[in-house]
Structure 1
Amino acid sequence: ASGKKVLIVSSGDPGVFAMAAAVFEILDKNPSRWADVEVQVLPGITAMLAAAAKIGAPLGHDFCTLNLSDNLKPWGLIEKRLLLGIEADFAMALYNPRSKSRPEGFNKALTILKRECSKDRLIVFARAISTPQEKIQIMNLTQAKPEMADMQTVVIIGSSQTKAFIQNGKTFAYTPRYSKLGSTN
């Protein structure tokens, strides 16, 4: 690519589970080789934020984002982070939930969520957001099935405070900006 302008395009935001980190990993490993390369990262809208906007404000309070792919990290680390997110009562956005080559990860995550969270905990399956194939399903954990997710799906798990309601025939979900849990030390 010497003397050429190169553009790397990725869906969503290039800095969130996408190509910007891969580019910087390469630059960092061999800085002298890439010293003359100018890098500019332009922000995009992540799938979790696009999905959240479509259904209201499920990420309206503290939340965390987890990548369920174990291609570049061990499953044990993913499970630990999932459990800590549940313990902290974060709303959570789960990326890369289920691929054909590794369907078991999301199965395990869903089993953990059903074991550790209340049965009425809200879960959202938002597939192919902002495309003609968009599909959004809002339900409680007891209704969730692993096959509802694939690699085009971002899964949003509400906190214990997340609520759903219907207005004008449309289901909305939100997490209040306040918290009734814990102390204010």
Structure 2
Amino acid sequence: MHGMITVVGTGPGSTDHITPAALRSICEADVVIGYSTYLDLLPDLLVGKEVISSSMMQEVNRCRAAFDEAEKGRRVVMVSGGDPGIYAMAGLIFEIAAERNSSIEIEVVPGIAAVNSCAARLGAPLMHDFATVSLSDLLTPWETIERRLHAVAAADFVIAIYNPKSKKRAEHIALARDILLQYRNPETPVGIVKAATRSDERIILSDLGHMLDAEITMQTTIIVGNSLTFTWHGKMITPRGYRGKYRLGEEQPKSE
């Protein structure tokens, strides 16, 4: 028998937002491995499966367990929240495959990323160029994160901020906000979304000057608008450029 590893993105958390391909992979698996918080969202899908779960900071051990099980000829699903290729498990699986010079087949099944689900809740904030920056310095030096914040802010990207705050990193979001204020005015719209699509979802529309007044946790994703982003009826919109090109509000010529 030939085992394989499928790295699955389960989306923002609600089972309504898991793709059919991801559901099929989980249903066909012999073993499902993942961070316990994500697996706890999928109880009905794990019935009859062997489940290997662990806590945060055990990513390497989970990946090595996936290869150990696949080398026994088993079909292994490695579960990631959101999309497995964005701050998640796909990269580490391939790194360990290269380290082991493994011949195990690896498939990546994409999922709805946090930035997508949060943007949908806010309106249309990602309609032009955007960048994502994680404020977690567990794997990336803070000096590097600061340089990236300066770069994307200066370039007028819409900015999606992942991992904005934890108990050990309470000050990083304030430092990031101060950097952004060097390039954006305090009225710049900011969307703050916690646990998009889940039962404890919370959506806050704020601005750069007041964003720190909101509750911000590790479950929060923050989207900071660019110089053209505006709010309307409680929604956050970043124009793509249609108004200047097609003169919105004027009747358009009919095509032949």
Considering the TM-score relative to the shorter chain, is it more than 0.5?
yes
Alignment match of 2:96 (pick from 9, 20, 26): 26
Give the total of aligned pairs: 173
Bigger mean CA deviation after superposition, 114-123 or 124-133: 114-123
Q: Secondary structure at the match of 1:41?
A: strand
Distance 2:138 2:83 in 1: 20
Does the 8 A contact of 1:107 with 1:146 survive in 2?
no
| CA displacement at 1:146 relative to structure 2 | 6.9
TM-score (normalised: structure 1): 0.88
Distance 2:222 2:198 in 1: 17
| CA displacement at 1:179 relative to structure 2 | 9.0
The within-5 A match list for 1:62-73 is 62-73=129-140
The within-5 A match list for 1:33-48 is 34-35=102-103, 37-48=104-115
Unaligned runs of 5+ in 2: 1-68, 244-256
Unaligned runs of 5+ in 1: 181-185
Distance 1:122 1:58, change over 3 A: same
* 1:10-69, Cα deviation, whole Å (9 max, x unpaired): 1100101111111111112221xx21x111110100111111111211000010111111
Does the 8 A contact of 1:120 with 1:140 survive in 2?
yes
- Calculate the aligned-residue CA RMSD, in Å: 1.6
Bigger mean CA deviation after superposition, 97-106 or 143-152: 143-152
Distance 1:46 1:22 in 2: 18
What's the counterpart of residue 207 of structure 2?
A: 140
The code of the aligned residue for 1:116 comes to Y
Q: Secondary structure at the match of 1:148?
A: coil
* 1:136-165, Cα deviation, whole Å (9 max, x unpaired): 101111111176221111110000110101
Share of identical aligned residues, percent?
A: 39
Alignment match of 1:79 (pick from 131, 141, 146): 146
TM-score (normalised: structure 2): 0.65
* 1:59-101, Cα deviation, whole Å (9 max, x unpaired): 0001011111111111011011111111100001011111112
Higher relative contact order (CA 8 A, sep 6+): 1
What's the counterpart of residue 173 of structure 1?
A: 236
| Larger gyration radius, structure 1 or structure 2 | 2
The within-5 A match list for 1:35-184 is 35=103, 37-145=104-212, 148-166=215-233, 171-178=234-241
Distance 2:105 2:171 in 1: 40
Q: Secondary structure at the match of 1:155?
A: strand
